[in-house]
Structure 1
Amino acid sequence: MFRVCSRDRYAAPGYPGGDRQECETNQALKISGTPGFVVDDQIFPGATDLATMKKLIEQARVLQK
Protein backbone atom coordinates (compact mmCIF):
# COMPACT_ATOMS: atom_id res chain seq x y z
CA MET A 1 0.00 0.00 0.00
CA PHE A 2 1.31 3.44 -0.91
CA ARG A 3 1.91 5.69 2.08
CA VAL A 4 1.64 9.45 1.78
CA CYS A 5 4.83 11.23 2.78
CA SER A 6 4.05 13.67 5.53
CA ARG A 7 6.29 15.64 7.88
CA ASP A 8 3.80 14.95 10.72
CA ARG A 9 4.38 11.21 10.36
CA TYR A 10 8.13 11.68 10.80
CA ALA A 11 7.56 13.36 14.15
CA ALA A 12 5.70 10.33 15.55
CA PRO A 13 7.67 8.39 18.19
CA GLY A 14 9.28 5.28 16.77
CA TYR A 15 8.76 6.26 13.14
CA PRO A 16 11.47 4.52 11.10
CA GLY A 17 13.96 6.91 9.51
CA GLY A 18 14.39 4.78 6.39
CA ASP A 19 10.86 5.64 5.27
CA ARG A 20 11.67 9.35 5.45
CA GLN A 21 14.62 8.94 3.10
CA GLU A 22 12.52 6.80 0.75
CA CYS A 23 9.75 9.42 0.67
CA GLU A 24 12.22 12.24 0.00
CA THR A 25 13.82 10.25 -2.83
CA ASN A 26 10.42 9.45 -4.36
CA GLN A 27 9.40 13.10 -4.19
CA ALA A 28 12.67 14.21 -5.83
CA LEU A 29 12.15 11.68 -8.64
CA LYS A 30 8.46 12.65 -8.94
CA ILE A 31 7.33 9.10 -8.20
CA SER A 32 3.98 9.60 -6.49
CA GLY A 33 2.55 6.11 -6.33
CA THR A 34 3.32 2.44 -6.44
CA PRO A 35 4.72 0.79 -8.27
CA GLY A 36 7.49 3.00 -9.59
CA PHE A 37 10.75 1.78 -11.09
CA VAL A 38 14.15 3.26 -11.82
CA VAL A 39 16.26 1.40 -14.37
CA ASP A 40 19.66 2.95 -15.06
CA ASP A 41 18.78 6.64 -15.53
CA GLN A 42 15.15 6.16 -16.59
CA ILE A 43 12.12 6.55 -14.31
CA PHE A 44 9.00 4.48 -14.92
CA PRO A 45 6.01 5.52 -12.81
CA GLY A 46 3.26 2.95 -12.67
CA ALA A 47 3.06 -0.70 -13.57
CA THR A 48 5.34 -2.22 -16.19
CA ASP A 49 4.80 -5.71 -17.56
CA LEU A 50 7.47 -8.33 -16.97
CA ALA A 51 8.59 -8.59 -20.61
CA THR A 52 9.15 -4.83 -20.80
CA MET A 53 10.96 -4.78 -17.46
CA LYS A 54 13.31 -7.59 -18.57
CA LYS A 55 14.02 -5.74 -21.82
CA LEU A 56 14.79 -2.48 -19.99
CA ILE A 57 17.14 -4.23 -17.56
CA GLU A 58 18.94 -6.08 -20.35
CA GLN A 59 19.40 -2.82 -22.29
CA ALA A 60 20.79 -1.12 -19.18
CA ARG A 61 23.23 -4.00 -18.61
CA VAL A 62 24.49 -3.78 -22.19
CA LEU A 63 25.03 -0.04 -21.81
CA GLN A 64 26.96 -0.57 -18.55
CA LYS A 65 29.62 -2.73 -20.26
Structure 2
Amino acid sequence: MITSDSRMALNSLSVRLGAVGRREEGLVAVQEAAGHYRVLAKLSRAMARSGKEASGLAFARTR
Protein backbone atom coordinates (compact mmCIF):
# COMPACT_ATOMS: atom_id res chain seq x y z
CA MET A 1 0.00 0.00 0.00
CA ILE A 2 1.23 3.45 -0.84
CA THR A 3 1.36 5.69 2.20
CA SER A 4 2.73 9.07 3.06
CA ASP A 5 5.17 7.32 5.39
CA SER A 6 6.59 5.20 2.57
CA ARG A 7 6.93 8.30 0.39
CA MET A 8 8.80 10.14 3.16
CA ALA A 9 11.03 7.12 3.84
CA LEU A 10 12.02 6.90 0.18
CA ASN A 11 12.78 10.62 0.13
CA SER A 12 14.93 10.28 3.24
CA LEU A 13 16.73 7.30 1.71
CA SER A 14 17.43 9.37 -1.39
CA VAL A 15 19.04 12.14 0.65
CA ARG A 16 21.18 9.68 2.61
CA LEU A 17 22.32 7.82 -0.50
CA GLY A 18 23.29 11.12 -2.12
CA ALA A 19 25.24 12.11 0.99
CA VAL A 20 27.45 9.02 0.67
CA GLY A 21 28.00 9.45 -3.05
CA ARG A 22 25.41 6.94 -4.30
CA ARG A 23 23.57 9.56 -6.32
CA GLU A 24 22.11 7.28 -8.99
CA GLU A 25 20.50 5.06 -6.37
CA GLY A 26 19.26 8.17 -4.58
CA LEU A 27 17.67 9.41 -7.78
CA VAL A 28 15.79 6.14 -8.19
CA ALA A 29 14.47 6.38 -4.62
CA VAL A 30 13.30 9.98 -4.99
CA GLN A 31 11.64 9.19 -8.33
CA GLU A 32 9.72 6.38 -6.65
CA ALA A 33 8.71 8.74 -3.82
CA ALA A 34 7.42 11.24 -6.38
CA GLY A 35 5.41 8.50 -8.05
CA HIS A 36 3.82 7.61 -4.71
CA TYR A 37 2.89 11.24 -4.14
CA ARG A 38 1.27 11.43 -7.58
CA VAL A 39 -0.83 8.34 -6.85
CA LEU A 40 -1.95 9.72 -3.48
CA ALA A 41 -2.85 13.07 -5.05
CA LYS A 42 -4.79 11.40 -7.87
CA LEU A 43 -6.75 9.23 -5.43
CA SER A 44 -7.55 12.23 -3.27
CA ARG A 45 -8.86 14.22 -6.25
CA ALA A 46 -10.93 11.25 -7.46
CA MET A 47 -12.51 10.80 -4.05
CA ALA A 48 -13.26 14.50 -3.78
CA ARG A 49 -14.97 14.45 -7.19
CA SER A 50 -17.02 11.41 -6.24
CA GLY A 51 -18.25 13.13 -3.06
CA LYS A 52 -16.71 10.51 -0.78
CA GLU A 53 -14.83 11.37 2.35
CA ALA A 54 -11.22 12.10 1.39
CA SER A 55 -9.99 13.27 4.77
CA GLY A 56 -7.99 10.07 5.30
CA LEU A 57 -6.03 10.61 2.10
CA ALA A 58 -5.63 14.32 2.79
CA PHE A 59 -4.26 13.44 6.21
CA ALA A 60 -1.90 10.86 4.66
CA ARG A 61 -0.49 13.48 2.28
CA THR A 62 0.30 15.92 5.10
CA ARG A 63 2.15 13.43 7.27
Give the TM-score of the pair, scaled to structure 2: 0.32
Q: Which has the larger radius of gyration?
A: 1
